[in-house]
Amino acid sequence: MTSASERPLLFLDVDGPLIPFGSSAGQKEVAAASSTTVDQGNPLLARLDPGIGARLTALGCRLVWATTWMEEANDVVAPRIGLPRLPVLEWPDADAGGTPRGLHWKTRPMVEWAAGRPFIWVDDEIGDMDRLWVDAGHPGPSLLHHVEPAKGLEDADFRALAGWVDAVAPR
């Protein structure tokens, strides 16, 4: 039986995957209209899908915030989508060499955090350099899953994520 500590990691971005940048259409417009009183001045939070936390949890991964929201993701995002407080990927220390040109600031710390364990990265800013870096420096399985920022995480994304998890770490 696979223990919880052996489940794949899932590094999760907020802006784009959870907060789509597209124009408020359809249900998102309804959500925005109904939740303005709890947004505490940040209208972007109205774009969060309250049910998305359960769908992420159902993937059976160990979730880690990988977002410029940092600890604020735990304070204002997690409670709105039904997630517990999660560990937070730290911005790299400039003294430690900074970030090579063309590489996302998250990529190196994610590979270090994973330490060879299977991981998923869900983000709208994944580039070629990031894929090369992970291929070269991460010996375990990885899935760098790009999300269309205008739409956010959709059914097709969840199918792709679940398919990868089932193949890499069947339960």
Q: Which of 121, 126, 157, 124 is nearest to 141 (CA)?
A: 121
Residues contacting residue 113 through CB under 8 Å, at least 6 positions apart: 9, 11, 64, 89, 119
Minimum distance from CB of 164 to Mg ion (Å)? 20
- Residue of the chain from 15, 49, 130, 157 that contacts Mg ion (CB under 5 A): 15
Stretch that binds Mg ion, among 11-19, 94-102, 106-114, 154-162 (CB under 5 A): 11-19
13 makes contact with Mg ion (CB under 5 A): yes
Q: In the complex, what is the shortest distance from the CB of residue 114 to Mg ion, in angstroms, rounded to a whole number?
A: 19
Place of tokens 């291929």: 135
Q: How far is the CB of 169 from Mg ion (least distance, A)?
A: 25
Backbone torsion region of residue 152, taken as left when φ is above 0, otherwise alpha when ψ lies between -120 and 50, otherwise beta: left
Tell me how far, at minimum, the Cβ of 171 lies from Mg ion, in Å: 29
- How far is 124 from 136, CA to CA, in rounded Å? 21
Kind and range of the H or E run holding 52: helix 52-57
Among the listed residues 124, 126, 133, 142, the single contact to Mg ion using CB under 5 A: 124
157 binds Mg ion (CB under 5 A): no
Cα 37 to Cα 31: distance, rounded to the nearest angstrom: 12
Q: Contact between 16 and Mg ion (CB under 5 A)?
A: yes
Nearest residue to Mg ion on Cβ basis: 16
Measured from the CB atom, the residue of 73 and 111 that comes closer to Mg ion is: 73
Backbone phi, psi, residue 78, to 5°: -50, -50
Question: Which lies closer to Mg ion via its Cβ, residue 87 or residue 149?
Answer: 149
Q: Of 13 and 130, which has the nearer Cβ to Mg ion?
A: 13
Q: Which tokens in the block code for residue 90?
A: 């730290």
Residue ranges binding Mg ion (CB under 5 A): 13, 15-16, 124
